[in-house]
A and B are shown apart, each in its own frame.
Chain A
Amino acid sequence: MFVARSIAADHKDLIHDVSFDFHGRRMATCSSDQSVKVWDKSESGDWHCTASWKTHSGSVWRVTWAHPEFGQVLASCSFDRTAAVWEEIVGESNDKLRGQSHWVKRTTLVDSRTSVTDVKFAPKHMGLMLATCSADGIVRIYEAPDVMNLSQWSLQHEISCKLSCSCISWNPSSSRAHSPMIAVGSDDSSPNAMAKVQIFEYNENTRKYAKAETLMTVTDPVHDIAFAPNLGRSYHILAIATKDVRIFTLKPVRKELTSSGGPTKFEIHIVAQFDNHNSQVWRVSWNITGTVLASSGDDGCVRLWKANYMDNWKCTGILKGNGSPVNGSTQQGNPNPSLGSSIPNLQNSLNGSSAGRYFFPLLDSPQAGSRWSNYAQLLPSPPPPPPPPPSLPLLAEHSCDADTANLQCPPPCRQSLSRPLNPLTENEGV
């Protein structure tokens, strides 16, 4: 069961992208009004816009966060043919007192000659790297050699895809067994059917990105592409938004079986393909474990997909784009018109408090237990255990805030630090 509520975004034009930071406590939105807004979550769970500034001279297509290890860093890309890197300035100022944060442009990446359609930071373990793709079909990978100096970015790789690119996704796997990998989707609508998804892999020997795979079965324009968080799986999951939702798995064939040096070979399977959106699918997004996929499509609905234990993917929820529930059987293409009437009310609530609550039912509740559930073996209880150790108060998890510091490591637990430091209190130190 999911509950939806509306937040007054106050953008003057269409919002093109929403992006969460690593912790999910900050959010960035970008819009055709050429601005980016940064939102912070308050303790009560409400979102407050803490910064809004003009970023480009065209529609801003995408915005993305760097890992907090590199500081509070955003990247945006726009129709104005540029991508830009932004950093939050920490310090006391009037802005700070007003609850506003201040962001400065660190660099503008001007290599593209056409609209930059997507921008993504590489997974943390690769360092501070940024990939962009543009309508002229070139994926560019930049690196900031010095993470303390975000104004220096060097163009490390240029990959030509030969098709107008619409979206990119890094493979988030940090396993040493997996080389850095990037998937590129194209929304080229020219009639000559070519595969619209290409996967490039970094080759340690040549120090170049080489094409590892082309998904030949995807021939319609691709609007979004997303690798699932790997989470220790032995294979990768790739979701594609095209005229339907597709989920592929890519299982690397073990290295020892392939000739070393060449690109990794993959066993590629399509594990799900859904045309429930009845039309184009615009976006796909994975949850943190890569177990639930959300997709949005031209039917104006958001759908959630989840696999059961047999790896059968099913729709587990539908919500209309305006947050209202879909009643029973989904009547395609007959969305309700309440958007117009309800929105003005929502806009009145300025700081994004909830205006309406809606429910939508779980359409396909998981099977009531697999074959294991009914006959769980019950073992003899060992002697009665001592009462459970008092778990740490919940609040403690939220009290230490890592976001502000520009640390190399996320702050470790205070307990572990305190021990070696104990002898160094004022009495003994000096």
Chain B
Amino acid sequence: MSGTKPDILWAPHQVDRFVVCDSELSLYHVESTVNSELKAGSLRLSEDSAATLLSINSDTPYMKCVAWYLSYDPECLLAVGQANGRVVLTSLGQDHNSKFRDLIGKEFVPKHARQCNTLAWNPLDSNWLAAGLDKHRADFSVLIWDICSKYTPDIVPMEKVRLSAGETETTLLVTKPLYELGQNDACLSLCWLPRDQKLLLAGMHRNLAIFDLRNTSQKMFVNTKAVQGVTVDPYFHDRVASFYEGQVAIWDLRKFEKPVLTLTEQPKPLTKVAWCPTRTGLLATLTRDSNIIRLYDMQHTPTPIGDETEPTIIERSVQPCDNYIASFAWHPTSQNRMIVVTPNRTMSDFTVFERISLAWSPITSLMWACGRHLYECTEEENANSLEKDIATKMRLRALSRYGLDTEQVWRNHILAGNEDPQLKSLWYTLHFMKQYTEDMDQKSPGNKGSLVYAGIKSIVKSSLGMVENTRHNWSGLDKQTDIQNLNEERILALQLCGWIKKGTDVDVGPFLNSLVQEGEWERAAAVALFNLDIRRAIQILNEGASSEKGDLNLNVVAMALSGYTDEKNSLWREMCSTLRLQLNNPYLCVMFAFLTSEAGSYDGVLYENKVAVRDRVAFACKFLSDSQLNRYIEKLTNEMKEAGNLEGILLTGLTKDGVDLMESYVDRTGDVQTASYCMLQGSPLDVLKDERVQYWIENYRNLLDAWRFWHKRAEFDIHRSKLDPSSKPLAQVFVSCNFCGKSISYSCSTVPHQGRGFSQYGVSGSPTKSKVTSCPGCRKPLPRCALCLINMGTPVSSCPGMTILQYSLLS
């Protein structure tokens, strides 16, 4: 406390007060500001606390150290050690009528003036104050004062004279200490040992000494350099910390020869070391010129008793503020709370959090433990769907029977919450695939049906026939454009894209109508245009502009569209090709791209990523030649596979390519639910044999188990076993012999047993010899029914595949 470096102390009993001392003493009062505004004149200590200055005391110059009177004291009685070795009692209280009034101003004067280094109040006898002084020749350096003693040189020092309440004539100067210790030495730090009132631990020059006041001629000491800042662990009275330069030594008083532990050395010298008063084994240390307080969490330190244990010390550091810290003080009662002060007297109040351990529960709640307390954190129910994690989404979807609508397959995307465009595309694709597979199977019960599930990529590849392109007239325009003759495969592809309906009818009319109904004017117009019906496109845009939620600008677009001219160098063409890039809506953009493109090169449409894949593919099927189309589809498929975009299932179908695509989708999202249900839609079994698909299914079932959705899992299993007979659940009821405990279940051959291996105990033989009279394991006769005398374990029905055992458990 050399005037520049403030120290800070919490009041031991009035827990909302603290003192900052540098050249003067300033008393502050701490208030919570959680529910109130910051008052004028108060200093903010943290987000929700502030300090108000109550009083300043500058009566005591040359302060070197300060110690707060330990017993209950409403008047803030403080002992101040001065540079001349005097100890002064002073107060920051306003009330001058207290019983301590007479003590205030009292001075305790050593024989020779030298610096007072440290002060310590005795925790048991509150009137005893120990002062540690610098060396002065052969004088004593540890003086113990009784603050209530008068200046009575004639009285023997051992005799304590206490101040009675009524006495008034008190001398303010006391020169006779109660005890004098540490002759011919210097004292740097002091602390009373809580074990006994008369034990004092002192950090002397080059040794630590324990003075026993019952026998002042003896002391116990150990030579060490670590003599500064001696302090006793409040939870473990034999444990003491002291420091020297950058090193902290931990001592056990029961084995005082050497430190039981030294902590890792810090590059800068330490200035303060303090045990946390509210928590066991937490030591805070501060080094010079640092903004970090280093904490040592000593869950288990070595003890001299018992065998050697390896220390479990966790080193932590906290940074309460950005500036260097001059000093800190633990709050006496609030858990792990401390206040720090910087050299320029800004203060900060903060709490050292314990190490938090945490765990997620399967139902998206997070539990953590901080100190001795538990906190549970749950996701808000009404969270925006975009914010929801896939775990929550899958859970909700499982509850809404997502994936289980096998008739109206497209509806699954509504069950999924109708919020994800990719899922929507996926389920419509699967819906169309199912629909057209059924169609195909009806028409020709050949193998064609499985082709539908193989996706457009395979469909297009299979059309090897030469396709002539023909020139088609634009309706309402004097123009012709090459359009591919639609063979069967291309029609199927268009159907899968949803542009045309069932049957050979190639009319996109119904599709346009439905788009208009949904209010997708731009898309409808683009589709109309791609079908060379510019009039219809303009009409749709007009309709859109006049509708309630439509955009008036659509009229402008319609106007621009109507100005279409086929001339190569017209202003219209020039402006359109430059301005179209500024259009926000991708469909409007591709419309102009289409109109301004050269015949046969439609890259502006085909590679516009914002346009739905199915529209681009349908467009490609209409306008690209076979080789171009194959190349384009190939390229797009790879793109989709890489991105894990579910729209690409339209191209890959439920093939190995589709599994690859789904793999990158699962990698990206973790949505095994969609992956499992999607792969369980198709009839082709080979994808189900893929290890990855089985693994997704297994993971999804595991999720359902974790959520305790037993019914959902059963539904899933039923759904799965319909498509994948090999996944039939294992037999779950067995009849066992009560002699040997082995299964006597009969025809196990129909059920492929795995795992538990009960099948090996099954009776082999033809089903006609169905009479079992003895246990196959131990040959003991099986019990019979009391009425019909049939042995238990005999199948009731000989119907194969439906083995029903007499269900009477042999207790």
Name A's B-contacting residues (CB within 8 A).
Answer: 1-20, 22-25, 27, 29, 31-32, 47, 58-59, 79, 114-115, 135, 174-177, 189, 230-235, 278-280, 282-283, 285-292, 294-302, 304, 306, 309, 311, 316, 319-323, 327, 331-341, 343, 346, 352, 362, 365-366, 368-369, 371-382, 385-386, 388-389, 391-392, 394, 396-398, 400-402, 408-413, 415-417, 420-421, 423-424, 428-430
Contact = CB atoms under 8 A, between A and B. Distances in A.
Interface string B556-568: 0000000000000
Contact of B380 (A2, A5, A23, A379): A2
Contacts of A59: 299-300, 312
Contact of B364 (A12, A288, A321): A288
B421 interface: yes
Nearest first, the 4 closest Cβ-Cβ pairs linking A and B are A413-B714, A300-B353, A340-B334, A377-B612
Contacts of A376: 421, 424, 612
Contacts of B337: 337, 339-340
Interface in B633-674: 647, 663, 666-670, 672
B710 interface: yes
A400 B350 contact: no
Contacts of B369: 9, 15-18, 29
A382 B375 contact: no
Contacts of B709: 397
B359 interface: yes
Given A232-B672, A294-B366, A380-B511, A331 B47 contact: yes
Contacts of A429: 806-808
A356 to B, nearest CB: 10
Contact of B691 (A10, A115, A176, A409): A176
A366 B389 CA distance: 11
Interface in B362-394: 362-380, 383-384, 386-387, 389-391, 394
Chief secondary structure at chain B's binding surface: mixed
A230 B611 CA distance: 33
B708 interface: yes
B335 interface: yes
B68 interface: no
B175 to A, nearest CB: 44
Interface stretch (B104-112, B159-167, B318-326, B451-459): B318-326
Contact of B378 (A3, A47, A287, A299): A3
B350 A296 contact: no
B698 interface: yes
B247 interface: no
Contacts of B45: 337
B414 to A, nearest CB: 8
Interface in B93-134: none
Contacts of B20: none
A287 B358 contact: no
A225 B357 CA distance: 12
Contacts of B391: 287-289, 291-292
Given A232-B699, A296-B357, A302-B368, A323 B377 contact: yes
A397 B46 contact: no
Nearest to B429: A379
Given A288-B703, A413-B715, A15 B357 contact: yes
A115 B389 contact: no
Chief secondary structure at chain A's binding surface: loop
B137 to A, nearest CB: 46
Given A337-B349, A391-B401, A402-B708, A175 B360 contact: no
Given A279-B319, A378-B518, A296 B806 contact: no
Nearest to B713: A413
B422 interface: yes
Interface in B291-347: 299-300, 310, 312, 315-321, 331, 333-337
A391 B675 CA distance: 22
B732 A15 contact: no
A381 B514 contact: yes
B272 interface: no
B705 interface: yes
Contacts of A417: 732
B318 A333 contact: yes
B299 A5 contact: no
Given A283-B357, A336-B46, A380 B515 contact: yes
Contact of B710 (A19, A336, A368, A412): A412
B366 A282 contact: no
B205 interface: no
Interface in B34-77: 34, 45-49
Given A6-B375, A322-B370, A292 B389 contact: yes
Given A5-B375, A336-B48, A366-B387, A382 B350 contact: no
A49 to B, nearest CB: 10
A375 B519 CA distance: 12
Interface string B577-604: 0000000011100000000000000000
A3 B379 CA distance: 6
A260 B668 CA distance: 29
A5 B380 CA distance: 12
Contact of A135 (B310, B513, B696, B787): B310
15 contacts: A2-B380, A9-B369, A29-B369, A175-B695, A231-B670, A232-B696, A279-B317, A287-B364, A292-B360, A302-B356, A321-B368, A338-B32, A375-B585, A378-B518, A430-B785
A298 B610 CA distance: 45
A343 B334 CA distance: 10
Contacts of B334: 337, 339-341
Contact of B708 (A7, A295, A346, A397): A397
A391 B716 CA distance: 14
A337 B350 contact: yes
Contact of B387 (A362, A382, A391, A402): A362
A192 to B, nearest CB: 15
Given A32-B299, A232-B696, A412-B729, 10 more contacts: A4-B376, A6-B374, A18-B358, A23-B708, A135-B312, A378-B520, A380-B498, A416-B729, A420-B733, A430-B786
Contacts of A412: 710, 713-714, 717, 729, 732
Contacts of A374: 610
Interface string B779-793: 000000111000000
A392 B711 contact: yes
Contacts of B702: 174
A98 B243 CA distance: 53
Contacts of B362: 20, 22-24, 288
B431 interface: yes
B375 A402 contact: no
A113 to B, nearest CB: 10
Contacts of B696: 232
B712 interface: yes
B335 A339 contact: yes
B216 interface: no
Nearest to B377: A4
Contacts of A394: 399
Contacts of B670: 231-233, 289-291
Contact of A23 (B46, B336, B663, B706): B706
A128 to B, nearest CB: 15
